[in-house]
Amino acid sequence: MLILQKYLLKEFFIYLGLVQGVVIALFVTIDYLTRIGYFMKLKIPLWYGLGYVLLKVPYILVMLMPACAILSTIIVFCIMVKNNEILALKSSGVRSMSLLKPIMFLGIGLTVFSFLLSETLVPVAQTKANSIRRQIKNMSVTTTRDNNIWIRKNDAIIHINYYNHIDRTLSGITLYYFDKNFKMTRRIDAQEASFQQGKWKLQEVLELTPGSGDQYFVSRTMNEKMVHFDLKPEDLKSVIKKPEEMNIKEMFRYVTKLNEEGYDPIVYRVDLHGKLAFPVACFLMCITGFGLVLSGRQKKGLPVSIAGGICISFVYWFFHSFCISLGYGELLPPVMAAWMANFVLSCASGIILLNTE
């Protein structure tokens, strides 16, 4: 049986490498060609643009790992069925379900690898890619370790504690206005802000303006105030530090900080659980692919099985994204939003395995 397990491992990793290689090559080619006109328009060296595209490869690799896992499993066992290797094993007294054990170990290994990749290489690469994108857009932005945002726009410096990209609201905003000598002429603090009709509507506002002789500042409080500064929600969406740019430790510290400051970081709480749940799909996909090939009396061909694997991957990804969106909208608890797709997939794989000979 040890020889059989080594054979399965060898074949699985060969086809896993082929599938991932094809997928990554297609992604890099398509993404680069779609952006090459943009790079040339901004007079950016093409090799610099290629480096920007390659920095996104680790994140794409993690996102597509479940799909690659199920396709690799399907290819391995479909070829074994075609070559009558499964029939020979059954004739030797080896049950089909006994082949599931090495596949489960492979799934666990892929889950651990995907998790470690998302915790180490992906945050570094995504942070660098975001930095390059801001350089391309010529945005003067600094994001601190605690994900506070500092933006310089013309004669103002904007500080934002938290930006919720789902409902496009700001929390903990401070605007510093300066003259040509970089002397502060006004300061505005607000608890929250929302984008309405091309302007930002500030709430719970405290405004400081210089008094007579510039010896002191005069404060004024307002419930609401409409202000215009050259900053749109689309700009902030590319500025904020995204969940894929943080590991679990950083994200947990950030969520704790926001909770202590009185904000509700529902987006980051959902994504925190999502970073734990998504790699587990690799394990479930391996089991599902095994059952998909060996279930039923009539074995499917390789094209049909691959099409089924692609459909399962697409449905999982769509349903997982849908549940995450429900979590963002507070229609599902964060834990349920992150793990619901895995629960449904595990039930489906269990039903498929019941029909495995």
Residue-by-residue pLDDT tens, the chain, 357 positions: 577 888 888 999 999 999 999 989 998 888 888 888 777 777 777 787 888 888 989 999 999 999 999 999 999 999 988 888 877 887 777 777 778 888 999 999 999 999 999 999 999 898 888 777 766 665 555 565 556 788 877 778 888 888 887 777 888 888 888 887 778 888 989 988 888 877 888 888 988 887 766 666 788 888 888 887 777 777 776 667 778 888 888 888 888 887 887 777 888 899 999 999 999 999 999 999 998 888 765 566 788 889 989 999 999 999 999 999 999 888 999 999 999 999 999 999 988 888 776
**In the numeric block, which tokens belong to residue 18?**
């082929």
DSSP structural state of residue 154: T
Distances (CA, A) of 293 to 140, 188, 327: 54, 64, 34
If phi > 0 it is left, if psi is from -120 to 50 it is alpha, else beta; for residue 207 that is beta
Query: What pTM was estimated for this model as a whole?
Result: 0.81
Q: Cα torsion at 54, 58, 64, 68 (round to 10°)?
A: 100
For 347, other C-beta atoms within 10 Å of its C-beta total 10
For 231, other C-beta atoms within 10 Å of its C-beta total 18
pLDDT digit string (tens) for 230-259?
A: 777 777 766 677 788 888 888 888 888 878
pLDDT digit string (tens) for 85-114?
A: 877 887 777 777 778 888 999 999 999 999
Whether residue 174 contacts residue 161, with contact meaning beta carbons closer than 8 Å, is answered with no
pLDDT digit string (tens) for 116-150?
A: 999 999 998 988 887 777 666 655 555 655 567 88
Helix extents (H) in 42-99: 46-54, 57-82, 85-91
